[in-house]
């Protein structure tokens, strides 16, 4: 099976399979909304799709360190901001399948107008940020902070885009401003394996292992300012990345 997936025909089959299945899954989620509600519909069906995709493509993933988090975070009572490095387009679906609690992404507002992807994002409760100008961006961050204080956990890739080398890019400050505004803990994470599974510039999935490693939460109030908070979180993510890579 692994050899079949490593062939050119295997790559074609997986691309076609994904292209057909994504719309079907999104339609299934939309049909479930009247019965389950928006977020429950997405977080019932979405993780099943992500795990099924990982099984079909032979991309096993392991979640490490979750048991060390406080119980209120593990059972979803305490909203948090999960912050992870970002190496691959496969990172978001893997995290949807791996994280035991519902956590949405923060996306630019243009995403909600995309067919299927935007519909699924709307159902999930993705927080859309208007980056049109500084004033609207600041307003969007305040609105996002209110949603997080209201109980919504989010996932942020503080690099802002995928690293093409495996080395972490400079961090953007917006996620840390959001954490300070919302007053919720940041949970550092390492998401490792994506560069091998879906290399930069490639559309071909390769069998391979993912590791999602979770570190201890960081309280924004324990740090003097945004720069100090960013430095602390970046250091913790780097340690997690190094440790996770050593186990692959």
pLDDT confidence of residue 18: 65
- Averaged over successive runs of 10 residues, the pLDDT of the chain (248 residues) comes to 57 66 90 94 93 88 96 96 94 95 88 86 87 75 89 93 89 92 96 90 82 96 95 97 92
pLDDT confidence of residue 13: 65
pLDDT confidence of residue 1: 45
Phi-psi domain of 58 (left: phi exceeds 0; alpha: psi -120 through 50; beta: other): left
The structural domains of the chain, ordered by start, are 2-245 (3.40.1130.10)
Give the long-range contacts of residues 123-130, CB within 8 A, separation 24 or more: 123/29, 123/30, 123/33, 123/38, 123/39, 123/41, 123/42, 124/38, 124/39, 124/42, 124/43, 124/46, 125/38, 125/39, 125/42, 125/152, 127/152, 127/154, 129/174
Q: pTM to 2 decimals? A: 0.90
């Amino acid at each position: 099976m692994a050899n079949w997936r490593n062939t050119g025909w295997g790559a074609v089959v997986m691309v076609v399979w994904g292209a057909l299945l994504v719309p079907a899954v999104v339609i299934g989620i939309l049909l479930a909304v009247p019965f389950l509600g928006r977020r429950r519909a997405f977080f019932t069906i979405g993780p099943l799709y992500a795990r099924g995709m990982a099984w079909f493509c032979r991309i096993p993933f392991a979640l490490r360190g979750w048991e060390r988090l406080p119980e209120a975070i593990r059972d979803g009572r305490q909203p948090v901001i999960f912050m992870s490095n970002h190496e691959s387009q496969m990172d978001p679906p893997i995290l949807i399948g791996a994280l035991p609690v519902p956590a949405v992404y923060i996306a630019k507002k243009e995403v909600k107008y995309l067919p299927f992807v935007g519909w699924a994002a709307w159902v999930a409760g993705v927080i859309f940020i208007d980056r049109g100008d500084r004033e609207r961006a600041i307003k969007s961050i305040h609105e996002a902070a209110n949603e997080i204080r209201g109980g919504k956990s989010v996932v942020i890739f503080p690099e802002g885009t995928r690293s093409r080398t495996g080395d972490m890019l400079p961090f953007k400050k917006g996620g840390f401003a959001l954490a300070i505004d919302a007053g919720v803990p940041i949970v550092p994470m390492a998401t490792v394996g994506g560069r091998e599974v879906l290399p930069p510039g490639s559309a071909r999935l390769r069998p391979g292992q993912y590791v999602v490693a979770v570190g201890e939460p960081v309280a924004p109030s324990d740090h003097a300012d945004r720069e100090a908070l960013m430095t602390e979180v970046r250091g913790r993510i780097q340690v997690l990345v190094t440790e996770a890579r050593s186990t692959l």
